[in-house]
Amino acid sequence: MIVATVLGFVLLGLVLLLGLVLPSVTSPTVPFGVRVPAQRAEDPTVVRQVRTYRWRVLICGLVVAAVGVGSFAATGEPLLLPVSVLVLVGLWYGCFFLAHQEIRAAKAAGAWFEGLHQGISVDTGLRTEPPRFPWRWLAPAVIITAATAVIGVVLYPAMPQILAVHYGANGLPNREVGKSVGAAFSLVFVQVGLTALLGGMAAAIIRSRPDLDPAHPVGSARWSRHYITLGAKALLGLVAMIDLGMLGSSLLMWTGTVTPWAPLVIVIPVLAAVVVTVVVLARNNRERGQDGEDTGLTHRDDDRYWRGGLFYINREDHALLVPRRFGIGWTLNFGNPRAAMLLAAVVALIGLVVIFRLGG
């Protein structure tokens, strides 16, 4: 229980910290998901909303943490801590949406794009010479998955007849099933599915449409290529660490090891990989390639395709992934039919976990 409690507090703190720093790592021309001209990036409304947003997120985080701690102390139920994290995420979006609406209203009232020459910039070289897929970064995940399968095959005859397939908050098994191929290799199947899914997403990132700055097209295209490659590598590194955590969890199950520190076997590698991924991408997220000649153009005002500032829906855009407007990374184009297929794959993977881990 102590382990689960510590992890819950760490996760809550990381979510709060991420919410506070996101405005600083987001492109200055899309504050809170609203497209604004570069000369309006430091508008008093934008500056005020950034400050107000941070105060709101901080207060919400402290209140949620206090309620979560109080509820846990009163009931001793550690699941209240993950629920607190979900509540904080919901409140974070509320704070984001309020800032989004205020900036959007100020933009409309002040006609910020009036008289400006809007345009788009395209890197035509992405079709003929796209960034190369980082196969070497995929290799660790494939090797770890293959090693897990081989170790499982070797250990299968000597495995306990009863396998622990789920652990409680205290680190002790709370669900056991009879030995079978499905139960013993459940996490191997998940490894295969997750590696294929995230490997495919890394390939989609390589082929994603960049959001180039029409004022500095050359420098922006150069930065975009660097960031796309970096994002694909970060995602592949993340899946390797997740697979490593599943290898450790499988070994606990196969050897019948019972320890209160079992949750750390999966959580620590994954949490460390997530933190490193976020830090690496955040440090490179604002380098927009402002060098080179200024064309005098500004971004096209395309807010109509972004619902609530976070969700991109454009049926005329064939891109599957586009750069996220608030925060780091990429988001799906929910107007693309392939997005539904990708979401279906995620649901299928979750279903696989449920079938093998809970269904026995």
List, run by run, the mean pLDDT of 10-residue segments along the chain (360 residues): 63 83 86 90 93 94 81 64 82 93 93 87 75 92 95 90 70 72 86 90 87 82 86 91 89 79 72 79 65 75 88 88 85 87 77 58
Domain boundary among 111, 142, 159: 111
83 and 212: one domain?
no
200 with 310, same domain? yes
- Give me the pLDDT at residue 360, please: 46
Residues 94 and 59 in one domain: yes
d(CA 290, CA 300): 17
Query: Between vectors from CA 206 to CA 203 and to CA 210, what angle results, nearest 5°?
Result: 140
The boundaries of the domain holding residue 68 are 1-111
Give domain status of residue 219, yes or no.
Answer: yes
- Tell me the CA distances in angstroms from 152 to 164, 250, 336, one per residue in order: 15, 8, 40
| The pLDDT value given to residue 137 | 94
Please check whether residues 76 and 138 belong to one and the same domain: no
CA distance 335 to 333: 5
Task: Tell me: do 12 and 129 sit in the same domain.
Answer: no
CA distance 273 to 137: 14
DSSP 3-state assignment of 359?
Answer: coil
Q: Do both 249 and 356 map to the same domain? A: yes
Contact by Cβ (8 Å): 356, 182: yes
Q: Is residue 23 part of a domain?
A: yes
264 is a domain residue: yes
Q: Cα 321 to the chain's mean position, in Å?
A: 13
Distance CA 239, CA 140 (A): 9
- For residue 216, being part of any structural domain is answered with yes
Residue 7 has a pLDDT of 65
Is the same domain home to 94 and 135?
no
Backbone angles phi, psi at 12, to 5 degrees: -60, -40
Residue 346: per-residue pLDDT: 75
Task: State whether 190 and 103 are in the same domain.
Answer: no
Q: Is 116 domain-assigned?
A: no
Is 141 among the domain residues? yes
| DSSP line for 45-86 | HHHHHHHHHHHHHHHHHHHHHHHHHHHHHHH--TTHHHHHHH
Phi/psi of residue 333, nearest 5 degrees: -85, 100
Examine the domain organization and report whether 153 and 91 are in the same domain: no
Q: How far does the chain reach from its first CA to its final CA, in angstroms?
A: 25
For 246, phi then psi, to 5°, come to: -70, -30
The answer to whether position 279 is within a domain reads: yes
Alpha helices in the chain, H assignment, sequence order: 2-25, 44-75, 80-110, 125-128, 135-155, 181-184, 186-206, 217-255, 262-284, 337-353
Among 81, 111, 141, the domain boundary falls at 111
185 plus 320 within the same structural domain: yes
Whether residues 299 and 213 fall in one domain: yes
Q: How far apart are CA 233 and CA 138, in angstroms?
A: 8
Angstrom distance (rounded) from CA 176 to CA 36: 56
Q: Taking Cα atoms as reference points, which of 217, 250, 260, 228 lies closest to residue 4?
A: 260
Strands 330-332 and 118-119: unpaired
Asked if residue 137 and residue 54 are part of one domain, the reply reads no
Residue 282, token pair as written in the block: 């955040």
CB atoms under 10 Å from CB of 102, counted, come to: 18
Residue 117, in any domain of the structure: no
Q: How far is CA 120 from CA 129, 221, 295, 297, 299, in A?
A: 20, 12, 11, 8, 6
Listed residues 58, 89, 111: the one ending a domain: 111
Question: How many domains in the chain?
Answer: 2
Give the 3-state DSSP-derived string for 323-344, with helices as H, strands as E and coil as C.
ECCCCCCEEEECCCHHHHHHHH
